[in-house]
């Protein structure tokens, strides 16, 4: 099968770029220093490639991701780096033999962990992003309560998500150190062997963490490239040009591709068509201008601005060999961790 045989829009991952990203990251953060976040790709076949590069523990964002990873035989050490108020499905995963560690940030999430049959937790600490996480000075008391309730406290986690794409890298590093210091202060009260944090944008900066939760590095997107990250953009959406209007008078020509809002996560802006100027996306269309203007039937690879929500819109990820229009489709991976 060739790329030309695929129905568009279709999610493509270029095999060489993906493998280079996995190898580059494993060289910087080998083995247990990286706990890859699977929410970025939601694909157990891709997680298996990360395992092959030496990472046995994984980060998940949803109960569904934990279940799917365990069912795929990738459950040696799963961290659900998120709060849940009903952990019964996670307890069932533990009973099936997988190792599941759950983040808690309150008495309510602690109670849910106990009631659901979870045995191990991390205390999730608010280190600056107004999302989940307990205040650093209250983390020790929550850890004490967890131990009193019979849970094993493996340590702490914190996520400086607001810093990941800060354009000024020196400033990003400085602020990341401030956030990590908050995490270390909490860890002094909590104890345990795990200090988990970070993402693709700060993976070289939170050096005090025992493990980094980066996910986007494998597939990459234009937002992270704009922030100075040098991993390759291995993920694209293959699209067919369905209409083209030549220039007339003052009006430049434009072309329309068959992938729009329903094929791209748009919260980080428009996707990018290499060598072209994107005007706008609508439900099923992307309108752009380019010189020369493509013709109906031409196929283009469009680069998403934000990888995670883009992947979650697609059922499959086609692994392709190279960038050409005639590239071979090597494999087709189901995006099997989608949904809830
Ligand atoms: N950890 C948590 C808790 C996250 O929510 C995220 C992404 O949002 C990450 C880590 C890192 O992801 P990325 O590599 O995409 O920056
Ligand atoms: Mn993201």
Under the banding of pLDDT at 50, 70 and 90, the label for residue 338 is very high
What is the predicted pLDDT for the residue at 216? Answer: 98
All structural domains of the chain: 3-10+231-334 (2.40.37.20), 16-218 (3.20.20.10)
What is the predicted pLDDT for the residue at 108? Answer: 98
What is the predicted pLDDT for the residue at 155? Answer: 98
Which atom of ligand 1 has the smallest separation from the CA of 161?
A: 8
Ligand 2 center–CA 200 separation, angstroms: 9
213 Cβ inside 6 Å of ligand 1: yes
Q: For the chain, what percent of residues have pLDDT higher than 90? A: 100
Average pLDDT rounded to a whole number, residues 265-283: 97
What is the predicted pLDDT for the residue at 209? Answer: 98
Average pLDDT rounded to a whole number, residues 155-182: 97
Q: What is the pLDDT of residues 31-59, one digit of tens each?
A: 999 999 999 999 999 999 999 999 999 99
Mutational test site, ligand 1, from 123, 157, 215, max ligand atoms within 8 Å of CB: 215
Q: Which residue has the tokens 């908050």?
A: 182
Calculate the average pLDDT of the chain.
Answer: 98
What is the predicted pLDDT for the residue at 177? Answer: 97
What is the predicted pLDDT for the residue at 206? Answer: 93
Under the banding of pLDDT at 50, 70 and 90, the label for residue 134 is very high
Under the banding of pLDDT at 50, 70 and 90, the label for residue 244 is very high
Q: Which residues surround ligand 2, an ion (CB under 5 A)?
A: 308
What is the predicted pLDDT for the residue at 48? Answer: 99
Under the banding of pLDDT at 50, 70 and 90, the label for residue 298 is very high
159 Cβ inside 6 Å of ligand 1: yes
Q: What is the pLDDT of residues 63-105, one digit of tens each?
A: 999 999 999 999 999 999 999 999 999 999 999 999 999 999 9
**Secondary structure in 3-state letters for the chain:** CEHHHCCCCEEEEEHHHHHHHHHHHHHHCCHHHECCEHHHCCCHHHHHHHHHCCCCEEEECCHHHHHHHHHCCCCCEEEECCCCCCCHHHHHHHHCCCCEEEEECCHHHHHHHHHHCCCEEEEEECCCCCCCCECHHHHHHHHHHHHHCCCEEEEEEECCHHHCCCCCHHHHHHHHHHHHHHHHHHHHHHCCCEEEECCHHHCCCCCCCCEECCCHHHCCCHHHHHCCCCCCCCEEEEEEEEEEECCECCECCEEEECCCCCCCCCCCCCCECCCCEEEEEECCEEEEECCCCCCCCCEEEEECCCHHHHHCCCCEEEEEECCCCCCEEEEEEECCCCCC
């Amino acid at each position: 099968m060739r790329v030309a045989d695929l129905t568009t829009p279709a999610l493509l991952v270029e095999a060489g770029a993906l493998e280079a990203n996995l190898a580059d990251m494993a060289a910087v953060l080998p083995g247990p220093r990286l706990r890859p976040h699977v929410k970025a790709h939601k694909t157990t076949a891709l997680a298996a490639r990360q395992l092959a590069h030496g990472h046995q523990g994984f980060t998940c964002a949803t109960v569904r991701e934990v279940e799917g990873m365990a069912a795929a035989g990738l459950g040696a050490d799963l961290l659900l780096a998120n709060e849940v108020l009903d952990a019964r499905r996670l307890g069932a995963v533990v009973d099936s033999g997988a190792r599941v560690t759950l983040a808690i940030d309150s008495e309510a999430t602690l109670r849910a962990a106990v009631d659901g049959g979870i045995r191990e937790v991390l205390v999730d600490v608010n280190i600056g992003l107004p999302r989940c996480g307990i205040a650093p000075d209250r983390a020790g008391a929550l850890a004490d309560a967890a131990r009193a309730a019979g849970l094993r406290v493996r340590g702490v986690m914190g996520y400086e998500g607001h810093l990941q794409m800060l354009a000024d890298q020196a400033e990003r590093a400085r602020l990341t150190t401030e956030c990590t210091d908050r995490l270390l202060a909490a860890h002094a009260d909590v104890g345990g062997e795990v200090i988990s944090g970070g993402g693709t944008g700060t993976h070289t900066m939170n050096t005090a963490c025992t493990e980094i939760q980066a996910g986007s590095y494998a597939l990459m997107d234009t937002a992270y490239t704009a922030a100075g990250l040098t991993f390759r953009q291995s993920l694209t959406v293959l699209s067919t040009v369905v209409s083209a209007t030549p220039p007339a008078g003052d009006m430049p020509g434009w072309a329309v591709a068959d992938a729009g809002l329903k094929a791209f996560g748009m919260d980080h802006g428009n996707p990018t068509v290499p060598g072209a100027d994107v005007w706008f996306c609508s439900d099923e269309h992307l309108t752009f201008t380019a010189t020369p203007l493509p013709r109906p039937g031409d196929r283009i690879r469009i680069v998403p601005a934000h990888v995670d929500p883009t992947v979650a819109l697609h059922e499959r990820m086609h692994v392709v060999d190279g960038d050409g229009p005639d590239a071979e489709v090597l494999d087709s991976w189901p995006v099997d961790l989608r949904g809830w």
